[in-house]
Amino acid sequence: MTNKEILNYIELIESELTDATNSGVETPENSDSLYYIDTAQELLIELRENLEGKFENDMDIFSENAFAGDGEGRLKGNN
């Protein structure tokens, strides 16, 4: 799957969440559901923006070495 395809899926999901918010009736019974939909949409937007920034910097976040190391490189001076 290409970076563009991933971003397209994210945009489609954002659109569906917008539709879900717009179709929900604002009543006390639905307030929690609408809150969770809004939160999911905000997280998805944040994810999209983070991915777009990484893609623009030509970083392949899905490469085998993207998460290599023990996570302590900065502490050992290997940054």
Max CA-CA distance within the chain? Answer: 55
User: Structural domain tally of the chain?
Assistant: 1
**What range does the domain containing 39 cover?**
3-56
Query: Tokens 């998805």, residue?
Result: 44
Asked whether the beta carbons of 62 and 56 are under 8 A apart, the reply is no
Query: Tokens 């623009």, residue?
Result: 56
Assigned domain for 7 exists: yes
Asked whether the beta carbons of 11 and 19 are under 8 A apart, the reply is no
Q: Rounded to an integer, what distance in angstroms lies between the CA atom of residue 49 and that of residue 4? A: 13
Assigned domain for 21 exists: yes
pTM of the model: 0.61
Per-residue pLDDT of the chain in tens (79 residues, 90 and over written 9) = 888 899 999 999 999 999 999 998 889 888 999 999 999 999 999 999 998 887 766 555 555 555 455 555 555 555 4
Assigned domain for 17 exists: yes
Q: What is the DSSP letter of 1?
A: -
